[in-house]
Amino acid sequence: MRRLMVPLQVQPPRGTPRALRWVDPAGSTRSARVARVLDDWDYAGRWWEDEVLRHYLLLETEAGHTLEIYREGDAWCLSRVSD
């Protein structure tokens, strides 16, 4: 999987994501519809440096791609995508 770490818009913002939208490093706006959630987990981060807990989701899109996204507080991030 390729590391991206770009901000992500998620619909709906709470609950299981159905639609995603982000701007890739080349500046193009991309979107995807979620077919299913493959897995989810939590990562507490470097708490001694004030990092907060992240909730990760591994998703399969309707186009057949695999995305790893996480929520940190109210913000979403696209962390990795399958090549």
Partner 1 sequence: MVPLARQRLNAVLCAHSSFSFGAGVSGPTTLVRRAAELGYDAIALTDTINVTGGAELFAAAREHGIRALIGATLPVRIDDEVYSLVAIAASRSGYRTLNELITHAHARDERDVPWPVLLSHTADLIVLTGGRGGLPARLLAARRVNALEERMRELHGAFPERLFVQLFHDRLPWDARRARVLRRFAQSLALPTLAALEVRFARPEDYRLFDALVCARLGISVQEPHPDRPRNTAGAMAGPAEVAERLPFPEALQNATFVAETAAFDLLPERLVTPAARIPAGLTADQQLERRCFEALLARYDVSALPAARRKLEEELATVRALGLAEFFLVAAEVTDYCRSHGILAAGRGSAAASICCYLLGITAVDPVKHDLLFERFLHTGKATMPDVDIDISSARRDEVIAWVEHRFGAATEAMVCNKITYRLPLAIQDLGRALGLPMELRTRLSRSLGRDFRHLSPRRAREAAVAFDEVLGEAPAKEVLIDLLSAMEPSHPRHLAPHSGGVVLSREPLTHYAPLERSSGGIKIVQLDKDDAEALGLIKLDLLGLRMLAALERAREEVFRLEGTWLDLGELPDDARVWDLISAGATLGLFQVESPSQIHTSRVMRARTLRDLAHQIALIRPGPIQSGTVHPYLRRRQGLEPTSYWHPSLEAVLGKTYGVLLFQEDVLRIGVHFAGMSWIEADRFRKKVSSFRDVADIEPDRQRFIEGAQRHVGASAEEAEQVFEAVKSYQGFGFAESHAWAFAIHAYASGWLRVHYPAEYLAAIMTEEPGMWSPSTKRHEARTWGVPFVPLDVNRSGVHYRVEWARHEGKRVKAVRPPLCAVKGVSTDAARSVMLERLRHGSFTSVDDLYGRAPLDRDVLEALVRAGALDALAPRREALYRIGVLTGTAPSGERPLLAAPTPTPGLEPLGTEGHLVWDMHTTRFSTLELHPLDVIRDQLREWGAISLAQVGRRARGSRVRTAGLVVSRQRPPTAKGFAFYVIEDGPQRAQLIISPDLWSSHRTLVRDAAILVADATIVDTGYQLTLKAETLAMAEGPFAVRGYEFG
Residues in contact with partner 1 by CB under 8 A are: 39-44, 46-48, 53, 56, 58
CB 67 to partner 1: min, Å: 14
Residue found by looking up tokens 């770009």 in the block: 6
CB 25 to partner 1: min, Å: 25
Nearer to partner 1, 7 or 45 (CB): 45
Nearer to partner 1, 10 or 54 (CB): 54
Strand (E) or helix (H) holding 80 = strand 75-81
Nearer to partner 1, 31 or 53 (CB): 53
- Nearest one of 6, 4, 5, 9 to 74, comparing CA atoms: 9
Determine the straight-line distance between the first and last CA of the chain, rounded to whole angstroms. Answer: 6
- Give the separation between CA 25 and CA 36, rounded to whole angstroms: 25
CB 7 to partner 1: min, Å: 23
